[in-house]
Structure 1
Amino acid sequence: MADNLVFPLHESVFDGNVRQVSALLRLHDIAQKDIHGNTPLHLAVMLGHKEVVHLLLAHGAPVKVKNANGWTPLAEAISRGDRQTITSVLRKLKQQSRESLEEKRPQLIKALRDLGDFYLELKWDFQSWVPLVSRMLPSDVCRVHKKGSCLRVDSTLIDFNDMKWQRGDLTFVFNGEARQDKSLAVMDNELKVYQRIRPDDSESDIEDEVDILMSSDIVTATMSTKTITFVRSQSGWLFREDRTEMVGPFNADFYAVHGMIIESKKRREHLSDEDVQKNKAVIDSFSKGSVVEGSLESQRRPSLAAPMPSKITWKEYICAIPKNPPTLGREMLYKESKKGVKATVAMSEEFPLSVEELLNVLEVITPFKHFNKLREFVQMKLPAGFPVKIDIPVLPTISAKITFQEFQNNMDIPSSLFYIPRNYKEDPNRFPDL
């Protein structure tokens, strides 16, 4: 057999040989991918070798890794439907995410400290081509204060997804000098309560998330950046010229983003007809302009009946056309779509922050989910300058226009802004999604 088809650890995982897997773990890379992009953990989950799954997780098998078709071990665990395996893989994913953040924390705090103190305003305008939805969508002005290694974000919008948004008078505080378990907090200034964003999830939080995963579509979406180009926008009717305008106090060049493609895949082989209808009803009600709050069932979702054991041999699997493996678990039921999306960006070389410095700020405020979309976009290879105005898609029917409308640096910012007021009470369940 050719060398590129020899994967001893994968083969022993495929066969469910726990003793041999244990021996080979000391000699082989647990994160190695085979010709189909599967890691040993992918195979163990797909084939339902539970003991091997737990052994690999105990040895730090990476969970946030996609195979050639874009699926993670967690996605494959949801497809198979064994609740215990889904819970174990999800718990390990969260642990590895925390460890990764903790590794980056010293550099992040240093980067914040090296940055000058400043005040920044970002205006968010959400828009949709669905008229009723567009009328309901929120706008928001986020006010950001930064001093030393501390960051404060004041907002009226903390959570935004395709089912709901959460409004209020909210403050997010990051204190880089505090212990990890006390460095992040969200305050509800109307109720005068606060919640620490702790590194660990409670057992009930994990179980709630498993229920949601088991009753929802498995979705993977990637934004293809290989084909993206930035083309100068034009202005004028008779005499066309490059569009340059003031954005707030900053002179900016406007670009149209061409070739931005969102590729999405959706799987639902683990869902019952009842699940599919429930999910469709929620999405339909939203698209008609009403917001439905999802409610968890009082009883936990049970494991699905295991699919028929695979009759595929290791040789048949590894000799299949690369990236087109035979089915090892439940027969896949999925849809695939590619959609070109429009975006525009205004770049200014006058803005006092750099893109790298902005990314360090956004890294801290990732619990604000809508900021993740901004972060993903800013990580692309942008034209010269700073993106003072961006119009980007955040959901299939919704786009966000983000404007950096004010920036003041070298100002005296009071330290009291970064502390929780003494009259605020702790409420660990105020923001259940954080």
Structure 2
Amino acid sequence: MQLSGTDEGTPTPSLDAPTAVTRGIWPLLAAAPAATLPTISGERELRIDLFRGLSLWLIFIDHVSPDVLAWFTIRSYGFSDAAEIFIFLSGFTAAFVYGRTLFEAGFVIGSARILRRVWQIYCAHILLFSVLIAAVAVVTGLTGNGFYMQETEVTEFFRDPGPAMIQALLLRYRPLNMDVLPLYVVLMSALPLVLLLAKWRADFPLAISIALYTITIRYDLHLSSYPAGFWSFNPFAWQLLFVFGAWCALGGGRRISPLIDSPVVFWIAVGYIVACFLVTLTWYLPSIAGFMPAWLVWLIYPIDKTDLDILRFGHFLALAVVALRFVPNGWRGLESPWAQPLILCGQYSLQIFSLGVALSFIGYAALTETSAGFVAHIAVGVIGILIMCGVALLFTWYRRALSAAARRHKPLPVRSA
């Protein structure tokens, strides 16, 4: 069963329009009154793989050492974190890859291919659920400490596994740090409708997405979870980021490229990033919290992750504008050996994400049981990333071996007499 970030043999889409090769603007493709797709080149767009790999590393680090190594991730210095990067790139890549099939082969064939991908993500989630439950059981048995069942929110499963397993299959019961894949399943399931609407009117999916987001915030739409509470990533809100990524891939991005490429916009983005950083300082240094005006405190709080607060969305956009200015199309750093591990991990995002979640619990338990210091946290983080890179390298070797075998066994063309 194929579980790669995109279908095997399908190149990752390009982030730039042809006119933006040397300027590093926002990832943008063709624009038209109705959605159109550019011709996919034979080469992968390595920047998508690079940023997706970076998001996977950051997610792992945030999970394995939230109190120590998280200081080396963007989560500690602004409003957004790696989840926004992952969901946006998922929407961008999915629309580009599966949009071509839906537009050219029809809605039924295109939807079937998307639903196949949804099934793969769902299977990966259930497998990861089983692995995490087993890991918690082993660690709890070895340590005799029920803390890990409470920490990972699986106490209900061990108390009454039958109903809990049924709810897990329905995506309503999820251990700690296992909220992204259920969200991904829901968003990908809605992709056929997004593409169908985009085929009719290019901007219509984004308009509906914004309307749904507004209604969600106003009327508190949500999905319930088992045994109590709500989804940690509200699909009614996070769909905005996914659909925005799809909208950029289907042509909307190029229409706003002059705005995004503006030096004024760049410096506004820099200013917003700095402002967000100053606000986050008040979270860790209460002594300076009093310098924030009361009206500003009332205006911005709470900065909610569950419902994708608009300030988090804005912070992600600002980071994207700045990042793509420094990582333009054709950037030579993509050929550097230092970038290859990130790129490889990004090319197998589903497998590496699942592996990272499992490794993060194992590493977290090891650090907790040993009361490890800073050096040990660094060592666990590095070892985990090396394992992720090694698995990505293994998948790369396996795919190339299959391709080579297929070429060797390809039947020769039969010439007619």
Q: Which band: TM-score by shorter chain?
A: under 0.3
TM-score, normalised via structure 2 length: 0.27
More helix by proportion, 1 or 2? 2
Return the structure number with greater strand share: 1
Q: Which has the larger radius of gyration?
A: 1
Greater relative CO (CA pairs within 8 A, separation 6+): 2
- TM-score, scaled to structure 1: 0.26
